[in-house]
Amino acid sequence: MIIDGFGHVMPKSFCDTLLKVYPTDELRELSVLPYFGDIENRLRVLDKHGIDKQVLTLARASIWVSMPPKVAPAMVRAANDAVAEFAATHPDRFIATATLPFPTDEYIDEFDRCVNQLKVAGIQIMSNANGKQLDDPDFRAFFKKANETKTPIWIHPQLHAGWSQQYVLDKIFGWPFDTTMAMARLVFSGIMEEFQHLNIVVHHMGAMVPHFSERIKGFYDAGPMFPRAQFKPMKKDPLEYFRRFYGDSVLNDSVHAFECGYKFFGPEHIVFATDYPFGPKQGEEWMAGALHQVRMIDLPAREKELIFSGNLLRIIGKR
């Protein structure tokens, strides 16, 4: 079985609602791309590439940036309802997640509603919430809840303030950078150590972490040289906490990058994913590339099974 563990969707019903309430350039750009909400086309593409199921996460993270607090709760609820309804059209093919772009105390009820009533597989959050980092005390209740309920988390990168949109540099480089920052803060703040049942899927194979893993470890070990770093003592090597994340295979057909991620995370902490429908040819080029990455490396059949579906099924509790 092959499951796309990090696909994106923008149901038309929610897009139309948000355009009336909080229109942004990001949303307008997305609204003219109808295939983000086209169910039949999505099924055709999945069938064409031999993908059995797809995890649906709401596109596009940046639509939430600076959304007024009085508007956000209703829009978050509407988004989660729309994604769940989209997935329910073909429950044998789609796996719904909910999105909490501001995972603060006031959204814990929405967390419960989505998990218990909408029966989503997990919760998508962003790598920052309007600049507030994930180790902020305001988010502690969210991580505590996810840990207690063993609810998987998908982290999507968020726009990083100051990165230029010219040449799409904010997304090419800003997003992987912010993913890396989010992972590091969750590790070095002690959140990953304290909450042992967190299962977190991160985009782009953990971004910079696999490539710079020894640099991460080296600076931690040299902590006394950098007193302002304020490293906390850890029971284990910090890289062990980084390896608890699940890196997805969204690497745009970069086989060498996949090999690097494989060597860092190992076969039991990689989730196959495509980023569909983003990318060339309405997402099909990156979908084909994600499959190519896994198949180009000489992996045992058991490891391929783990990457293509086994790891994801294990963390969402469905077999």
Q: State the pLDDT at residue 161.
A: 65
What the chain holds in terms of domains, given with CATH numbers, is 3-316 (3.20.20.140)
Q: State residue 52's pLDDT score.
A: 98
pLDDT of residue 257: 97
- Residue 26 is predicted with a pLDDT of 85
- Bridge partners of residue 247, in order along the sequence: 202, 270
Which one, of 183, 158, 143, 174, lies nearest residue 264 by Cα? 183
What per-residue string of b and e applies to 136-161 under the rule 16 or more CB within 10 Å gives b?
A: eeebbbbbebbbeeebbbbbbbbbbe
CA distance 162 to 160: 6
The continuous run of DSSP H or E covering 129 comes out as: strand 128-129
pLDDT tens across 128-150, in order? 999 999 999 999 999 999 999 99
Rounded to whole angstroms, the Cα distance separating 263 from 258 reads 9
What is residue 6's three-state secondary structure? strand
For residue 3, the tally of other CB atoms under 10 A from its CB is 23
Query: Which segments of the chain have a pLDDT < 70?
Result: 161, 318-319
pLDDT score, position 97:
98
Residues 78-118 pLDDT 10s: 999 999 999 999 999 999 999 999 999 999 999 999 999 99
